[in-house]
Structure 1
Amino acid sequence: MTEHFFSPCPRGLETFLVDELKALGADNVADVPGGVSFSGDWALCWRANLESRIATRVLWKAGEDWYRSEDDVYQLAHRLPWERWFSKDMKLRIYVTASRSPLKSLNFVTLRIKDGVCDRFREERGTRPSIDTRQPDVRIHAFLTADRATLYLDTSGEALTRRGFKRAKVEAPLKENLAAGILKLSGWEPGQTLLDPMCGSGTFALEAAMMALDIAPGIGRNFGFEKLTSFDARQWNRIRTMAEQRRRRTPELNIYASDIDPQQVANARANLAAAGLEELVHFDEGDFVTLEAPAAEGVIVTNPPYGVRLGDEEELQAWYPQVGDHLKRAFAGWRAYLFTGDPALPKRIGLKASRRTPLMNGDIECRLLEYRIVAGSNRDRQ
């Protein structure tokens, strides 16, 4: 049977998610700001969870209807056959988001959806699921527009950004699907030299290594769909096994990660080691403005510190011009992609960006700045 799904993703990366889903065999693929709708069977849903580098979640559309009041949303939740889709023994959590909804309290809407689901279970099974906001087995997502309510079952469980490998925690993490999208925007291809000179927890290096080896990003974790009644363990095991057998083998990759902070380098090493990839990536410690290029040409992809995240503002303002100077001196022939939420960076770095791509990092509006580095000193001050 054909099922209908929606996958949210970071804004600005919808095109890449469309490409991924089409490559997996999805039908009726259509993007909207912040996500992509598509259709297919349950096996497609499982593969999308396993294989997508860009999606944040994969949501199965359970039902939708027009509404005017909280009671209308309750009635929608109450008439859907939840008892066919998951067990009464599962722990439940409800999430509600809205755009232009006339309803005043999303907390009250959340309560009414919970009531609708639990009342349905009492009537059909004689008992109801418990609520657990910390570690639920099943997640129900509601999305309200000005006059339409849609209810989804979350087939992912934990967000797909949780690849299942990373171990170290850092102050300013970059979400894995955003990092994967930035790598795609950079045009980097496996085999090309890649450098992240401010690597933090190593997210760019980890995502690039997984791409280069064709490792499915979800291969190290479990998913919410494994707790739904539509789950077929035998078919899922076949899908996972095929993904595992596809992995490429290589003695090393042309991927370099460095940071001025030794603890950050240790974090990056730990995260790559958790994925079994530490020996394939080159690590170093040091300030980017003293770092020499590891190859004659390549791609720099990095997330420099900015005021919202880390560092002293005056220090950063003095440091940005040094970054521009060093790129011109040491990285002629390279392409550099700097992802930043600091509007001062493009003005201070002293290089003219050939492209600026708007992206969101959580609720921070950011830009991915492309610099094509050529030899010489004709810097274009902005």
Structure 2
Amino acid sequence: MSKKLEQFFATCPRGLEALLGEELRELGAQAIAPTYGGVAFSGEYELCYRANLHSRLASRVLLRVGGGEYRDEEDIYHGALSFDWPTMFSVDKTIVVKMTAQKAPLKSLEFTTLRIKDAICDRFREATGERPNVDIREPDVRIHVFLTATECTLYLDTSGQSLFKRGLRKQAGAAPLNENLAAGMVKLSGWQPGTPFFDPMCGSATILMEAAQVALNIAPGSHRDFGFEKLTRFDPKVWLPIKQAAIDAQLPATLQPIFGRDMFGDSLRDAQVNLEAAGLAGVIQLKQGNVIEVPAPADHGVIVTNPPYGIRIGEQSELAEFYPQLGNWLKQKCTGWNAYILSADMNLPKLIRLNATKRTPLFNGALECRLFEYKIVAGSARK
């Protein structure tokens, strides 16, 4: 007898929805439907174990509990009260309720969130005589609510902390990328393990570490815990073999053609701390150097980098000088390489004075960016 298919929704940085859909399909997901900010999909319950463990792109994997139409806060309260929460997690687990809304006609989303929390606690009180406590910082169970103008949908979070928190990075730079956005940039570059990979402004090594995990077939969730472990349906007999199979599939931590440079010693020290904590110190080759002076580490390969794009006043003039130099460096020292450069400033990349062959929209949090692709061949067209 086939098992029941559950309905899931995986969130991700905007711009990566199609890639996440492909990733989930490879993990066995069905009925994949990318949408704004994530992907709806279905599968047997155990799929949430694999998706949390293996997804490089998802931020959270949410299990749909149910939903329906509403007119006001009381409809939402009674809808939430109708779910059998005590069968989903025990009363000794702490909870938090998070809400996202689009065009909801309600006066106060904060009040509505409280009413959903009340419904969950009231249902527990009816069933057990007790109610779960709320912990807004480190809850055992996260309940996510999504409102449209007429529909309310409730989800249980099977991830816990956001999935980009791999449990590897110990030091972060001044403006670090989330790991799943960095993984998306690596995926969009088309890079394959064995090909030289280079981040000439590597900061705390977030992009490099994502590439190294791909090269060594390291499951991104293999060093952390998950929210599904706190739910009643958690089955260690199913989960532990899935996790062990992922660990067994990892490759030895040998030196790879993955190179990082940064001109700032503090950033490189942070990067080294991160690599050592992640067991990747002997995998990635780090050196200090100014991007516009260092030679490319091989005669071909893929560059993926997140250079400064100047949020503070006074930085623009410095960057207006830097970006033409970056373009000269690409042209003169990186022939044979494909470069992928992230920027939230649509004008600065024009100063590189090379024709971008792609401009992929991505979001770094709320910041709209583009990932610019430059194919550097001998005689590359200059603007």
Which TM class, normalised by the smaller chain length?
Answer: over 0.9
Deviations, residues 220-255 of structure 1 (Å, cap 9, x unaligned): 000000000000112111111100000112521110
Question: Structure 1: which amino acid aligns with 2:307?
Answer: P
User: What's the counterpart of residue 297 of structure 1?
Assistant: 300
User: What's the counterpart of residue 252 of structure 2?
Assistant: 249
Secondary structure of residue in 2 paired with 1:131? coil
Native 8 Å contact 2:70 2:150 kept in 1: yes
User: What's the counterpart of residue 49 of structure 2?
Assistant: 46
- Report the Cα distance in structure 1 between the residues aligned to 2:314 and 2:379, rounded to whole angstroms: 30
User: What's the counterpart of residue 343 of structure 2?
Assistant: 340
User: What's the counterpart of residue 282 of structure 1?
Assistant: 285
Shift in CA distance, 309/286, structure 1 to aligned 2, threshold 3 Å: farther
Question: Structure 2: which amino acid aligns with 1:245?
Answer: D
Structure 2: 5+ residue stretches without partners: none
User: What's the counterpart of residue 374 of structure 2?
Assistant: 371
1:256: Cα distance to partner? 0.3
User: What's the counterpart of residue 91 of structure 2?
Assistant: 88
Larger deviation, residues 196-205 vs 266-275 = 266-275
The answer as to 2:139 corresponding to 1:136 is yes
Shift in CA distance, 311/8, structure 1 to aligned 2, threshold 3 Å: farther
- Report the Cα distance in structure 2 between the residues aligned to 1:310 and 1:12, rounded to whole angstroms: 28
- Report the Cα distance in structure 2 between the residues aligned to 1:152 and 1:126, rounded to whole angstroms: 24
Deviations, residues 137-160 of structure 1 (Å, cap 9, x unaligned): 000000000100000000000000
Shift in CA distance, 92/309, structure 1 to aligned 2, threshold 3 Å: farther
Q: How do 1:108-119 and structure 2 match up within 5 A?
A: 108-119=111-122
The answer as to 2:265 corresponding to 1:266 is no
1:85: Cα distance to partner? 0.5
Q: How do 1:160-199 and structure 2 match up within 5 A?
A: 160-199=163-202
Question: Structure 1: which amino acid aligns with 2:78?
Answer: Q
1:378: Cα distance to partner? 4.9
Match among 202, 207, 230 for residue 205 of structure 2: 202
- Report the Cα distance in structure 2 between the residues aligned to 1:19 and 1:310, rounded to whole angstroms: 40
- Report the Cα distance in structure 1 between the residues aligned to 2:47 and 2:126, rounded to whole angstroms: 33
Native 8 Å contact 1:329 1:375 kept in 2: no
- Report the Cα distance in structure 1 between the residues aligned to 2:343 and 2:312, rounded to whole angstroms: 10
TM-score calculated relative to the size of structure 2: 0.97
Shift in CA distance, 310/358, structure 1 to aligned 2, threshold 3 Å: farther
TM-score calculated relative to the size of structure 1: 0.97
Larger deviation, residues 308-317 vs 266-275 = 308-317
1:311: Cα distance to partner? 7.5
Match among 301, 307, 311 for residue 310 of structure 2: 307
Native 8 Å contact 1:172 1:309 kept in 2: no
Shift in CA distance, 20/301, structure 1 to aligned 2, threshold 3 Å: same
User: What's the counterpart of residue 150 of structure 2?
Assistant: 147
User: What's the counterpart of residue 34 of structure 1?
Assistant: 37
- Report the Cα distance in structure 1 between the residues aligned to 2:313 and 2:158, rounded to whole angstroms: 35
User: What's the counterpart of residue 216 of structure 2?
Assistant: 213
User: What's the counterpart of residue 334 of structure 2?
Assistant: 331
Report the RMSD for the aligned CA atoms in angstroms: 1.2
Deviations, residues 276-295 of structure 1 (Å, cap 9, x unaligned): 01111000111100010111
Equivalent residue pairs, number: 380
Shift in CA distance, 27/311, structure 1 to aligned 2, threshold 3 Å: farther
Native 8 Å contact 2:191 2:197 kept in 1: yes
Secondary structure of residue in 2 paired with 1:279? coil
Shift in CA distance, 200/210, structure 1 to aligned 2, threshold 3 Å: same
Native 8 Å contact 1:305 1:311 kept in 2: no
- Report the Cα distance in structure 2 between the residues aligned to 1:212 and 1:244, rounded to whole angstroms: 14
The answer as to 2:111 corresponding to 1:103 is no
Question: Structure 2: which amino acid aligns with 1:283?
Answer: L
Match among 158, 161, 165 for residue 158 of structure 1: 161
User: What's the counterpart of residue 25 of structure 2?
Assistant: 22
Secondary structure of residue in 1 paired with 2:46? helix
Deviations, residues 284-319 of structure 1 (Å, cap 9, x unaligned): 111100010111101110000111279822111111
Secondary structure of residue in 2 paired with 1:205? helix
- Report the Cα distance in structure 1 between the residues aligned to 2:304 and 2:315, rounded to whole angstroms: 23
Native 8 Å contact 1:12 1:358 kept in 2: yes
- Report the Cα distance in structure 2 between the residues aligned to 1:212 and 1:313, rounded to whole angstroms: 36
Shift in CA distance, 68/46, structure 1 to aligned 2, threshold 3 Å: same
Secondary structure of residue in 1 paired with 2:60? coil
Structure 1: 5+ residue stretches without partners: none
Secondary structure of residue in 2 paired with 1:292? coil
Question: Structure 2: which amino acid aligns with 1:253?
Answer: Q
Following superposition, which runs of at least 4 residues in structure 1 exceed 4 angstroms of deviation? none
Deviations, residues 175-208 of structure 1 (Å, cap 9, x unaligned): 1111111111111111110000111111111000
